[in-house]
Amino acid sequence: MTNAPHILYGGPVSLYTGKVRSYLRKNNINFVEVHPNSERYLKHVVPTVGRWIMPCLETPDGRIIQDGADIIDYFDAEIQLSKYPTRPTTAVHQAVTHLFELFGGEGLLRAAMHYRWNFDEQNLSFLESEFGISVIPKMTSDQISMNFARSSGRMRKAAVTFGVGPHSAELIESSFMEWLSLFSAHLEQNAYLLGNKPTLGDYCLMGPMWAHLFRDPAPTAVIKKHAPRVGRWVERMSTYEPYDGEYFDSATAPRELVANDALPDTLVAMMRYIAEEYLPEITAHVEYANEWLTQQTDLVTGTNGLPDPGARGIGKTAFAWRGIEIETAVMPYRFWLLQRLQDAVASCSPAEQSAVRAAFNNAGLESLLDLRTIRRVERVNHLEVWGPLL
């Protein structure tokens, strides 16, 4: 490998770039972040990955990788640049880090979109400036405004597909406050989810917790007022240098995960929160997908079954959430993340699998381990496609 930097195509306002950027910084990886308006991104990366999407990574030898999970896997497995072991080696910790990979990526989108798009007075001038930062191509202020009107309109519509609206606003806020207080309680004794080292689940939480929920003016005020420890976690996750004295002193104590594959009670409480906040949603999505797959009698294995191979949703479904009914978009990518959790568990010994089941059962999450679509989701050429019928 050359010493040339990796290139991360992403943006400060982007949710999923936050996860990868945090990983790259924490692991001291040499990279340059490039705005997706760049010519290289538009002319080379988009045609390669088949859709306009970020983050994308270009390696020094010219390989293009799309998807945050694939980018992290690439560093972990192929180059082994990772400073911290991203995936714990013990069964329960490994399953829990994958649980937070799923929940971090997909389970906090309601809060992220609500706090970004429903607080115009606090957020709008910041967002307009942030959405217009690209100097390539140089835009006039009128063009920046038009561009912002277009992309913010699209994002407000996307927020609705995640269940955000007047009917859910109050509950989203009370639920987010609960999340902050549980996370904050956990951070009293632990610098990261599983102890004094960040793992995959921490990086994935940095998707929603960084750009939308920590940088945007409205939610940052909420976090700083109600959960400053969560704010410090975000800051720790976004720097590469260790900070001694806050939780540990690296000169005298090695950074360890919690001993004996144990889960602190405070983390179990966060898992119970996931059971309430997200389990009904992913369960409804798997049911919807199985129904949908059954109806697609002519679906060709290796495709997404849709006219547009880059399309990400197969429909919408309603489910009960915290006492109301909401409707959200069903995206096969989520099942792919769920499979990563289930595959990690399946690779363990029977005794280890029992330990994982007990831990998930204790948190009200055991059914997640058995929730399956009748076709697996695979990722081929940077896109999600359906595998053969099981």
Q: Which residues bind ligand GSH (CB under 6 A)?
A: 14-16, 52-55, 67-68, 333
- CB nearer to ligand GSH: pick between 33 and 352: 33
SS3 324: strand
Long-range CB contacts (within 8 A, 24+) of 244-253: 246/191, 247/190, 247/191, 247/196, 248/191, 248/196
Distance of closest approach, residue 53 Cβ to ligand GSH, in angstroms? 4
CA pair distance 291, 294, nearest whole angstrom: 5
* Interior angle at CA 179, CA 176 and CA 185, nearest 5: 145
Distance of closest approach, residue 389 Cβ to ligand GSH, in angstroms? 24
- CB nearer to ligand GSH: pick between 257 and 314: 314
- CB nearer to ligand GSH: pick between 73 and 178: 73
- CB nearer to ligand GSH: pick between 158 and 177: 158
* Interior angle at CA 231, CA 87 and CA 234, nearest 5: 30
Amino acid sitting at position 210: W
Closest Cα to residue 230, out of 209, 200, 215, 211?
209
Distance of closest approach, residue 364 Cβ to ligand GSH, in angstroms? 26
Residue 241 tokens, joined: 């240098």
Report the largest interatomic distance among the alpha carbons of the chain, rounded to a whole angstrom: 63
- CB nearer to ligand GSH: pick between 102 and 182: 102
- CB nearer to ligand GSH: pick between 209 and 263: 209
Distance of closest approach, residue 265 Cβ to ligand GSH, in angstroms? 31
Distance of closest approach, residue 21 Cβ to ligand GSH, in angstroms? 11
- CB nearer to ligand GSH: pick between 68 and 231: 68
Query: Is the dihedral angle over the CA atoms 341, 344, 349, 355 positive or is it negative?
Result: negative
| 3-state DSSP of 226-257 | HCHHHHHHHHHHCCCCCCCCCCCCCCCCCCCE
Distance of closest approach, residue 213 Cβ to ligand GSH, in angstroms? 13
Distance of closest approach, residue 226 Cβ to ligand GSH, in angstroms? 26
